[in-house]
Structure 1
Amino acid sequence: MVLPFKHEPFTDFNDEVNKKEFEAALNKVKGELGQEYPIVINGEKIFTDDKLTSYNPGNKDEVVGKVSKATKEHIEQAMESAKEAFKTWSTWSPKERADILFRAAAKIRRRKHEFSAWLAYDAGKPWNQADGDTAEGIDFLEYYARQMIELGEGKELNHRVNEHNAYTYQAMGPGVVIPPWNFAFAIVAGTTVAPIVAGNTVLMKPSENTPVIAYKLVEVLEEAGLPKGVLNFVPGDPAEIGDYLVDHIDTHFINFTGSRATGTRIYERAAKVHEGQQQLKTVVAEMGGKDTIIVDKEADLDLAAQSIVDSAFGFSGQKCSACSRAIVHKDVYDEVLEKSIELTKELTVGNPAEENVYMGAVVNRKQFDKIKDYIEVGKQEGELAYGGKTDDSKGFFVYPTIFKDMDPEGRIMQEEIFGPVVGFAKANDFDELLEIANNTEYGLTGAVISDNREHLNRARTEFQVGNLYFNRGCTAAIVGYQPFGGFKMSGTDSKAGGPDYLHHFLNAKTVTEAF
């Protein structure tokens, strides 16, 4: 019997025992920094001279690890491996495949702090954020395993006299997984194991920023008994192998999370049918957001401020769900702004590999420079209300920044910054609050802080986002509780961690037998 899904609990780091255990995990990982990691094709570990080097964002000279880079030749080898492994893996029962995920989840759970410590180094994640990332990865393994067992039963159809009809699901074939760096364990795990438990084989190209923690997932899946060739680990330069993976005639699906620019490029390229290709490619794309928290005049203003600050500055705003826009009713605008500034002043910034802080550094030099440029834009478009400080002397630190009196059509309020920057704008009434909230090309997450039930009911249908929250922040979706994904230019609304997600990696099949 498979127990019902229950999400992995978060660690309370106010507990001294938990704190000491996490510090021990950080020390353990520190002793393993600087190692070299291979490509993995058909279970074979391949080391190359050309490598990706991962650095600690909070200590930019500290090497986390060096990971071998795959070439197009390696991609061909990996695809052949995936095609061969598919022949047998696709014949395993859903329960047998799910058991691999259950075993992997148990192994990760026993080493939870260790995986989170790797996130503190590889991605610069603060303790709470790293713990949540690891917990979400466990949740994906547990949830998708259960979903596949259920789908393995097929769906009930009607029958006629002397005729039996069956509706079942079967795997597609080899596919490509391209996860991001910001949820360097959770999304890597979710996007990888979903197609695998559905019976497909995978070529996984991790982000070049966080390849070490991605390799740790490959290791644990192998330890859990995943057969050779089912998961092929092919880190590399996106410019060299990205298009090649997408264009390959044997690629059946592309599961991507990342920027709008890359996502739309993948969507376009995947639509082309190449000579020798025998299937249309499925694209699952989550491409970012420009997320808004609305504050109504009838609202808990302390809750509003806390929701804005947590959603804007958690993991330095490096979430596609992060609140980068606070649209506040004019009657409470000044009070919500002031309360948000006061809360922001309490936030701590530092290196999570060394101390338990609220915010760490942003992931790399490119992001640091980009966010720094946006802060200068913000000074031209509105008024800097708090923060604006940056420091790259040791790591890539951008301090929490609040702009006020912003033009809703300005760049700060329209473009995805992916950093700890939030802009405030005021609205005259609820109509205008909704109008501004919907004025971007994105449609990922949003929140409404209001005690007005009529307004909440309107927002339920009129606020154009895939994940809408009432009287809480707009981040922190839980697997199985808030299936995640948006529409418009936020992606294909695939709803990761939801009951429909595995359908993207399965072909539905009807079989009719006459008697």
Structure 2
Amino acid sequence: MIPYSPEPLVDFSVQANLDAFNAALEKVTRELGKTYPLVIGGEEIFTDRLLDSYNPSNRSEIVGRVSKASQADVDRAFQVATETFKTWSRVPAEQRTGYLFKAAAIIRRRKHEFSSWLLLESGKSRAEADADTAECIDFLEYYGRQMIALAERGKHTLVPLPGEDNQMHYIPLGVGVVIPPWNFPLAIMGGMTAAAIVAGNTVLLKPASPTPVIAYKFLEVLKEVGLPDGVVNFVPGDPQEIGDYMVDHRLTRFVTFTGSRDVGLRINERAAKRAPGQLWIKRVIAEMGGKDAIIVDESADLELAAKNIVASAFGFCGQKCSACSRVIAHEAVYDELLQRVVELTKELKVGDVRDAGNYMGPVIDEKAYKKITEYIQIGKQEGKLMCGGEATETPGYFIQPTIFADVAPTARISQEEIFGPVVAFTKVKSFDEAIAVANNTEFGLTGSVFTRNRQHIEQARAEFHVGNLYFNRKSTGAIVGVHPFGGFNMSGTDSKAGGPDYLLLFTQPKVSSEVL
């Protein structure tokens, strides 16, 4: 594969970097409140119905208004995407990758601008927004290189047979539906879309309802690089109106989804049913969440563990499927570790992320706010509140980082995905018990183990049933190409985004054999 290096993150302790970001933030702020169209076959379509995107740090501030697609608009987008597929699927892989590399270059040049949109629309801090933008660049660069490698793969992997020319080509599937999440509205949205199209497919992109503007900004980049009309069709709208309709549609060849367990299971179930006139079995690529644990044994560096627990649990308000929501600590170090995590957590500042001094911003919207605060009330019945537990929805949806101690492994806050800044501490007597507790959920996405014990490391490698396992580091922050990402059980289809196998999910192998 052509060499690839992850995009470096910006050091905001350097004043020049902070000044550059703030200048971009001022520029983006002046662009708030615009109205954006659907884009179908390159045509911009403004509809009478609009989806308002709010700044979660200040609910009175509208980031933008985006036109809503109807089922009729979706039908038209399917027809356009189907027709475009006939030509786009024949474009050589090397040419398709060129669009991704050009898009990456544009986003890299305007990195702070894209991160500013993330700050305002999703409530990310500067560092979290910068990492999101960097990951989008990484996906574009990595999948472009992977497609070049995949185009060559079939020529060299078959067993030779004298007298025959045998070749295997990875051909695209068809028209796909891309349903990205709001928590990584540039990185995951861009990565899912890029993987599908670089493999030769055409797509209908339905952005997450809280974050449609950043998706439109990504679409502007694709237009700027000259991506042919109809390859990506932008169809935001109400999930209740067009979500099931898109999944059920007879022209849907595949659905790629990142979001909650319940929605992922619904998509999987509906996609399994054949629609009248449907010619294929629909493929579902899903990443659905987690209930991630950090294990700390009696040999661990407790200061290292404490700092990484705080970063894993409270970065972006815990609104990551990889976020630490459970700490499982050996009884010998439990009290000391808990005390230190509480001390570090109390130092965190929460507020509008336009203020660079705030570590945590808001949760995404009212629905998330209500869910998380309800779980905090449940937690008060299931454990000992050590810090946090306070929340306000004015002017934005702010929740203090919250820690509960002495929580049973079977408690609701130990079992159910909260998707917010809430972490539960559980005490265990042995490493065997720690592994058992960690595995005792329906999820299996990420996990971390803090230990100096080599035997414990090898035991965890074999027994800790998660798709991404980390030792002596945080449970968040997977890097494209370095940590292929995806989990087991109810965490999804283990699709390993950012890995060498990911593009295979958007293709099908075709073998041709010619007698010489």
Secondary structure of 1:437 counterpart: helix
Secondary structure of 1:74 counterpart: helix
Is 1:358 the equivalent of 2:351? no
Structure 1 equivalent of residue 298 of structure 2: 297
Task: Give me the whole-angstrom Cα distance separating, in 2, the residues matched to 1:354 and 1:407.
Answer: 38
Structure 2 equivalent of residue 432 of structure 1: 433
Q: TM-score by structure 2 length?
A: 0.99
Task: Give me the whole-angstrom Cα distance separating, in 2, the residues matched to 1:138 and 1:62.
Answer: 28
Structure 2 equivalent of residue 117 of structure 1: 116
| Letter in structure 2 aligned against 1:214 | A
Unaligned runs of 5+ in 2: none
1:117–1:353 Cα contact (<8 Å) kept: no
Structure 1 equivalent of residue 407 of structure 2: 406
Task: Give me the whole-angstrom Cα distance separating, in 2, the residues matched to 1:387 and 1:111.
Answer: 37
Structure 1 equivalent of residue 44 of structure 2: 45
Secondary structure of 2:455 counterpart: helix
Listed one character per residue, the Cα deviations across residues 272-318 of structure 1 (whole Å, up to 9, x for unaligned) are 11221001111000000000000011110001111110000000000
| Letter in structure 1 aligned against 2:41 | N
Structure 1 equivalent of residue 150 of structure 2: 151
Task: Give me the whole-angstrom Cα distance separating, in 1, the residues matched to 2:131 and 2:394.
Answer: 29
Secondary structure of 1:299 counterpart: coil
Task: Give me the whole-angstrom Cα distance separating, in 1, the residues matched to 2:511 and 2:2.
Answer: 29
Unaligned runs of 5+ in 1: none
C-alpha displacement of 1:396: 0.2
Listed one character per residue, the Cα deviations across residues 428-461 of structure 1 (whole Å, up to 9, x for unaligned) are 0001000000000000000000000001101001
C-alpha displacement of 1:165: 1.2
1:185-224 matches, within 5 Å, as 185-224=186-225
1:178–1:255 Cα contact (<8 Å) kept: yes
Structure 2 equivalent of residue 82 of structure 1: 81
Structure 1 equivalent of residue 253 of structure 2: 252
Structure 2 equivalent of residue 485 of structure 1: 486
Task: Give me the whole-angstrom Cα distance separating, in 2, the residues matched to 1:347 and 1:166.
Answer: 58
Residues 356, 104 of structure 1: alpha-carbon distance in 2 compared, 3 angstrom cutoff: farther
C-alpha displacement of 1:3: 4.6
Task: Give me the whole-angstrom Cα distance separating, in 1, the residues matched to 2:222 and 2:141.
Answer: 13
1:126–1:356 Cα contact (<8 Å) kept: no
Structure 2 equivalent of residue 267 of structure 1: 268
Task: Give me the whole-angstrom Cα distance separating, in 2, the residues matched to 1:44 and 1:419.
Answer: 39
Is 1:234 the equivalent of 2:235? yes
Secondary structure of 2:356 counterpart: coil
Structure 2 equivalent of residue 382 of structure 1: 383
Is 1:12 the equivalent of 2:4? no
C-alpha displacement of 1:349: 1.1
| Letter in structure 1 aligned against 2:515 | A
Secondary structure of 2:152 counterpart: coil
Structure 1 equivalent of residue 502 of structure 2: 501
Structure 2 equivalent of residue 328 of structure 1: 329
1:122-141 matches, within 5 Å, as 122-141=121-140
Residues 356, 235 of structure 1: alpha-carbon distance in 2 compared, 3 angstrom cutoff: farther
1:293–1:449 Cα contact (<8 Å) kept: yes
Is 1:59 the equivalent of 2:55? no
Structure 2 equivalent of residue 421 of structure 1: 422
Secondary structure of 2:153 counterpart: coil
Structure 2 equivalent of residue 459 of structure 1: 460
Task: Give me the whole-angstrom Cα distance separating, in 1, the residues matched to 2:266 and 2:383.
Answer: 33
| Letter in structure 2 aligned against 1:30 | T
| Letter in structure 2 aligned against 1:22 | F
| Letter in structure 2 aligned against 1:201 | T
Task: Give me the whole-angstrom Cα distance separating, in 2, the residues matched to 1:224 and 1:411.
Answer: 48
Secondary structure of 2:275 counterpart: coil
Listed one character per residue, the Cα deviations across residues 450-499 of structure 1 (whole Å, up to 9, x for unaligned) are 00000110100100000000000100000000000001000000000000
C-alpha displacement of 1:392: 1.2
Secondary structure of 2:360 counterpart: coil
Secondary structure of 2:511 counterpart: strand
Secondary structure of 1:166 counterpart: strand
Structure 2 equivalent of residue 107 of structure 1: 106
| Letter in structure 1 aligned against 2:346 | K
Task: Give me the whole-angstrom Cα distance separating, in 1, the residues matched to 2:357 and 2:264.
Answer: 34
C-alpha displacement of 1:357: 2.1
Structure 2 equivalent of residue 71 of structure 1: 70
C-alpha displacement of 1:355: 3.3
| Letter in structure 1 aligned against 2:196 | P
Listed one character per residue, the Cα deviations across residues 226-276 of structure 1 (whole Å, up to 9, x for unaligned) are 100000000000000001100111111100000000000000000111221
C-alpha displacement of 1:356: 4.3
Is 1:341 the equivalent of 2:342? yes
Task: Give me the whole-angstrom Cα distance separating, in 2, the residues matched to 1:457 and 1:21.
Answer: 45
Task: Give me the whole-angstrom Cα distance separating, in 2, the residues matched to 1:219 and 1:208.
Answer: 18
1:316–1:360 Cα contact (<8 Å) kept: yes
Task: Give me the whole-angstrom Cα distance separating, in 2, the residues matched to 1:235 and 1:344.
Answer: 38
Task: Give me the whole-angstrom Cα distance separating, in 1, the residues matched to 2:355 and 2:235.
Answer: 31
C-alpha displacement of 1:170: 0.5
Structure 1 runs (4+) deviating above 4 angstroms are none
Is 1:184 the equivalent of 2:185? yes
Listed one character per residue, the Cα deviations across residues 179-218 of structure 1 (whole Å, up to 9, x for unaligned) are 0000010000001110100000000000000000010111
Task: Give me the whole-angstrom Cα distance separating, in 2, the residues matched to 1:468 and 1:400.
Answer: 24
1:127–1:357 Cα contact (<8 Å) kept: no
Task: Give me the whole-angstrom Cα distance separating, in 2, the residues matched to 1:10 and 1:23.
Answer: 16
| Letter in structure 1 aligned against 2:24 | A
Task: Give me the whole-angstrom Cα distance separating, in 2, the residues matched to 1:423 and 1:87.
Answer: 52
Greater alpha carbon shift after TM alignment, 102-111 vs 156-165: 156-165
Is 1:92 the equivalent of 2:91? yes
Listed one character per residue, the Cα deviations across residues 341-378 of structure 1 (whole Å, up to 9, x for unaligned) are 11111111111134342110000011111111110000
Task: Give me the whole-angstrom Cα distance separating, in 1, the residues matched to 2:83 and 2:354.
Answer: 42
| Letter in structure 2 aligned against 1:114 | E
1:127–1:356 Cα contact (<8 Å) kept: no
Task: Give me the whole-angstrom Cα distance separating, in 2, the residues matched to 1:375 and 1:54.
Answer: 27
| Letter in structure 1 aligned against 2:361 | G
Secondary structure of 1:189 counterpart: helix
1:437–1:463 Cα contact (<8 Å) kept: yes
| Letter in structure 1 aligned against 2:230 | G
| Letter in structure 2 aligned against 1:152 | A
Listed one character per residue, the Cα deviations across residues 107-140 of structure 1 (whole Å, up to 9, x for unaligned) are 0000000000000011010000000000000000
Task: Give me the whole-angstrom Cα distance separating, in 2, the residues matched to 1:397 and 1:168.
Answer: 51
Listed one character per residue, the Cα deviations across residues 53-74 of structure 1 (whole Å, up to 9, x for unaligned) are 0000000110000000000000
